[in-house]
A and B are shown apart, each in its own frame.
Chain A
Amino acid sequence: MVDPTWLATAPALAFGAAALVLLLADSVDPDTTNATVLGGIAVAGSLVSLAAAVYLLYGGVGIPTGQGGTGPAVILGGQLVVDQMALFFMTITASVTALVTLASVDYVREHAYQAEFYSLVLLSATGMSLLSAANSLATAFVAFELVSLPSYALVAFLKKNRGSVEAGLKYFLVGAVSSAVFAYGISLVYAATGVLRFDAVAMAIESGTVRTVVDGSVQAQASGASVPMSILGMGIIMIIGGLAFKMAAVPFQFWAPEAYEGAPAPISAFLSSASKAAGFVLAFRAFAVAFPIDALAGSGAVDWFVVFQVLAIATMFIGNFAAATQETVKRMLAYSSIGHAGYVLIGLAALSATGDGMAFSMSAGMAHLMVYGFMNTGAFLFIALAEYWGVGRRFEDYNGLGKQAPVACAAMTVFLFSLAGLPIGGGFFSKFYLFQATLNVSAWSLAAALVINSALSLFYYSRVVKAMWIEEPTGERTIESYPTGLYTAIVAAAVITVLLIPGFGYITDVAFRAVELL
């Protein structure tokens, strides 16, 4: 047990503290543009968070004491629970944030409001970390908004750039509708069960009667009213809708292509990797804990894994097929990010009505998110690098880039092929782990969708590779500087992506255990 218990949220606290330090620095010297210091604070905060998350993860927090761990840290009367699952996702968040902030040092060097930029990133990251630990629909909603609100601003950060503003607007509007749907869904669940804490909701569903929480313990509600399954089901579907927004999954994916395309590239990386992961961790925890499928299946509420199957397939197809015919690289990556949301949704879709296979599929989804955190971030950071150099947006503009920037392009190749599921990075394993998960429960439609989309994705990812290495440069292009921060971030992401092949075992071990312990 971590003592005091609240210290278990150290990864989130580190983010929050760093954000406050940045705001402080900004108020002390509002005109400072010392990118190195500001960025340094942000990177340091992220690294502290990462260190804390990894330390706690391997310190056995969340593992029952009987198994050599220290048990989960239950905070605020069970509103937050720091366990292996939470720490796993805090690690993802912290890693991505570290990479993004590191890369941003060069990217926003010339911009005003740098301190705000970093603090917004860190605040959003704080939200993500908290979301990982949220154990109640209430804290989930608050953390959810804490993730969203700064990110709206970040997307529209380039105030003079019409693309950025338009992206921010669309992101915001869709986000606002989604959070309203989410909130309404939560209210329906509350209406049906009387509780918001995940374990309490689960008890209500299992017992079929409304519950209430008194002094942190779940009790039967005095009236003994039964849970209206129709309202519960409607609530669950609306919650799925709200989550789908965060995941950038169908039918709430519409913001994603524009937001990722218009946003500053490091922010696209941040949103498409970390924010997506945050959406998934909530989904994993909520659906694994609060809405036990074995109790829900056939109860008249909703067999949510079927919903996720539909969404997974639709998301895969829309993301990948649209990505296949894009003209610009960044938008292609944006769509591919939707496609990957579809892959990860398999984690919630590939199970049987009795819940069999959930540990398998969910850990596969988690592993994929972890790998994705590096490879996708890396890919978007490469876009940031290209934007930094003033290389155009289209595929053709990348022609022959491999000759001028071989290291970065090699890293990009690693990212892309790893995204495509080739054994040059951990994406290979995570994709096949997901594939295995579909086969494990004989979800043939999911497996088939994965096969088709995977093939298509190989096609469009290799378009970039082809442009970089195979095509001859078309126009004049001079690259004057090689920004250290961006390069470091990209290379680090690439190295980790590659190392995740031999090291994939660590991830799956942790992920599998984390799901089992929920």
Chain B
Amino acid sequence: MLVETLLLVTLLGAGIVMLAPDRMAGKLAAGISAVPVALTTYMYYVFLTDFDGAGNALLSPGEVAFGTRIPWLDLGGYTVQYYVGLDGVSMPLLALTTILTTLAIVSAWTPIDERQSQFYGLMLLMEVSLIGVFTALDFFLWFVFWEGVLIPMYFLIGVWGGPRRKYAAIKFFVYTNVASLVMFAGLFAMVFGTDVTTLSLPAMATAFRTATDLPVIAGYSLATISFVLMFIGFAVKVPVFPLHTWLPDAHVEAPTPVSVMLAGVLLKMGTYALLRFNFTMLEATARQLAVPLAIVGVVSVIYGAMLALAQRDLKRIVAYSSISSMGYVILGLVAFTPLGMGGATFQMVAHGLISGLLFMTVGVIYNTTHTRMVGDMSGLADRMPWTVGIFVAAAFGYMGLPLMAGFAAEFFIFQGAFNAATLGASAPVLTSLAMFGIVIVAGYLLWAMQRTLFGGFGLETDYEVGRAAFHDVAPLAVLLLLVIVLGVAPDLSLDMIQHAVGPLTGGGA
């Protein structure tokens, strides 16, 4: 019942906050969102201690943690259930979601100064959907949450965003919606091609994996077509080159707490879904297509990084670098090795924390300076030492500084992909190419830091630029701490992740 409690508490909280007066909405929302954090922390603890060795929720459904299954509806002979549960892949992502939401809410106290109750209500509403996405084990239930994320996001960008917020919001909205439809088409092509009649993910996984004699359309197996359609659908969310252009706009226009959620959690929905659907249900196809997919990942890595290099807006830099970072995830997933897939999932968590941290830091700076443009300001280290200190730490985390989560994740991916059987002889070459991302990322982040944080203080304002408030910096510190903890002890997450992806990887490097 814990998952239901989680969903209900958050949903009720969203309602309460929406009706609360603006003035106290922020604190109220933070308080309410602390409940899911406490719950997930408890669940995490239970998971770590009691569920040791839990398998994949899709492949060994008996071992799902905190599972609930209730029949829901019947769509033309296809059974849909209310079916939730957790495994080693979803548990860390769930924890990431709740923690990041709370921190994002706290970080919104300063920048959000109108229609607060609506803002925080929508944030909590989004949290509901995100919790749902990472816990649902039935396709339609999952899909409700998956699409449900769009609505609060649309408003959060559209109402509280920057100057081009309307364009960004609608672009995000329509783009990702089309993607969902394409994905849906791919999935159901496969559902109808097999004899599955329950739309629970485990049932689909079993049916897809054992499907034989699939129809061949235009020379391609149905599994291939379905895989490609689903990949395109999820790739938009990830995002993967060339389906990424909604991302920079959305990030730049979104208010900082929303960017945090967008980069921190929403992008992970895409890779999470890729793992759950493409790489679990259509494992054989994924293995066949491993090389082209890896190329897609590598291109994303380099392309995103190169674009980040050309930006002047700090948020845009981080936005493009997210594309780069998520490219690693693709590479890790196609490797089908414990370290590759485990690292990819770990990267979802790690990147969620680090990009969230970096966005939040940029936000704190923006709150003070009201500009994000490299070149408009310099020498901020002089005025806001702790913020800048955390910025530097976050940036190095992003660059893959060892003993921070990002390095661990990227290293696992590289290690896992370097001799991946799925990639054959191209494995070392592609991995090495992807690794070059770590050089470029250092390039643009160091450049941006040098220009904005260091040098003589320079910023045209008619007010005194001072230190940020405690409640602005505290979330940063918490995130930084988490990044370091996960970097030093990655097994806190990686172990359960590897247990969960174990049935897919079947051993090896």
Q: Which A residues are closer than 8 A to B by beta carbons?
A: 359-360, 363-364, 417, 420, 422-424, 428-429, 432-433, 435-437, 439-440, 442, 447, 450-451, 454-455, 458-459, 462, 465-466, 469-470, 501-502, 504-506, 508-509, 512
Contacts and interface: CB of A to CB of B under 8 A. Distances in A.
Contacts of A508: 73-76
B143 interface: yes
Contacts of B177: 420, 422, 454-455, 458
B178 interface: yes
Tell me if A's interface is mostly helix, strand, loop or mixed. Answer: helix
B158 interface: yes
Contacts of A437: 76
A435 B173 contact: no
B373 interface: no
Interface stretch (B180-188, B200-208, B267-275): B180-188
Contacts of B72: 502, 505
A439 B166 contact: no
A454 B181 contact: yes
B253 to A, nearest CB: 12
Contacts of B80: 505
Contact of A442 (B78, B140, B189): B189
Nearest to A463: B170
A501 to B, nearest CB: 7
Given A439-B185, A439-B188, A469-B158, A417 B77 contact: no
A424 B148 contact: yes
B170 A462 contact: yes
B77 A360 contact: yes
11 contacts: A360-B77, A363-B76, A420-B177, A423-B147, A435-B184, A440-B76, A454-B178, A455-B174, A462-B154, A465-B154, A512-B77
A459 B170 contact: yes
Pick from B76, B166, B174 the residue with the most CB of A within 10 Å: B76
Interface in B187-205: 188-189, 191-192
Contacts of B143: 423, 432
B151 interface: yes
Contacts of B189: 439, 442
B74 A509 contact: yes
Contacts of B150: 422
Nearest to B160: A470
Residue with the highest number of chain A CB atoms closer than 10 Å, among B140, B169, B191: B140
A363 B140 CA distance: 18
Contacts of B211: none
Given A462-B154, A466-B158, A504 B73 contact: yes
B151 A422 contact: yes
Contact of B147 (A364, A428, A440, A502): A428
B159 interface: yes
B97 to A, nearest CB: 18
Main secondary structure of the interface of B (DSSP, over half): helix
Interface centre among B140, B174, B181, B182 (most CB of A within 10 A): B181
Contacts of B145: 423
B178 A436 contact: no
Contacts of A420: 177
Interface in B132-149: 140, 143-145, 147-148
B15 to A, nearest CB: 12
A458 B151 contact: no
B181 A451 contact: yes
Nearest to B186: A439
B185 A447 contact: yes
Contact of A432 (B154, B169, B182, B184): B184
9 shortest A-B CB distances, which residue pairs? A505-B73, A360-B76, A439-B188, A455-B178, A423-B144, A451-B181, A470-B158, A423-B147, A423-B148
Contacts of A432: 140, 143, 184
B246 to A, nearest CB: 13
A462 B154 CA distance: 9
B147 A422 contact: yes
Q: Which of A359, A462, A501, A509 is most buried by chain B, counting CB atoms within 10 A of its CB?
A: A462
Interface of B: 72-78, 80, 140, 143-145, 147-148, 150-151, 154-155, 158-159, 165-166, 169-170, 173-174, 177-178, 181-182, 184-185, 188-189, 191-192
A450 B178 CA distance: 10
A239 B189 CA distance: 33
Contacts of A459: 170, 173-174
Contact of B182 (A451, A458, A465, A505): A451
A451 B154 contact: no
B174 A451 contact: no
A440 B192 CA distance: 6
A436 B75 contact: yes
B181 A435 contact: yes
A506 B75 CA distance: 10
A502 B159 CA distance: 29
Given A439-B188, A462-B170, 7 more contacts: A422-B177, A428-B147, A429-B75, A439-B185, A440-B76, A501-B144, A512-B74
A462 B173 contact: yes
A439 B192 contact: yes
A428 B182 CA distance: 15
A512 B158 contact: no
Contact of B188 (A363, A436, A455): A436
A23 B105 CA distance: 60
A510 to B, nearest CB: 11
B128 to A, nearest CB: 11
Contacts of A509: 73-74
A256 B74 CA distance: 34
B181 A469 contact: no
Nearest to B181: A451
Contacts of B78: 436
A448 to B, nearest CB: 8
A433 B77 CA distance: 11
A436 B174 contact: no
Contacts of A504: 73
A315 B173 CA distance: 24
A458 B176 CA distance: 11
A416 to B, nearest CB: 11
B23 to A, nearest CB: 17
A359 B77 CA distance: 10
A210 to B, nearest CB: 36
A168 to B, nearest CB: 36
A424 B76 contact: no
B144 A433 contact: no
A163 to B, nearest CB: 30
Which of B72, B73, B166, B178 is packed against the most chain A CB atoms within 10 Å? B73
A359 B76 contact: yes
Nearest to B215: A442
Contacts of A447: 185
Contacts of A439: 185, 188-189, 191-192
A412 B110 CA distance: 31
Contacts of B192: 439-440, 442
B158 A424 contact: no
Contacts of B184: 432, 435
Contacts of B182: 451
B155 A424 contact: no
A433 B75 contact: yes
A362 to B, nearest CB: 10
A513 to B, nearest CB: 10
A481 B154 CA distance: 30
B502 to A, nearest CB: 33
Contacts of B140: 429, 432
A359 B75 CA distance: 11
A261 B403 CA distance: 65
A367 B273 CA distance: 28
B76 A469 contact: no
B166 A466 contact: yes
B349 to A, nearest CB: 26
A435 B73 contact: no
Nearest to B78: A436
B170 A466 contact: yes
Contacts of B165: 470
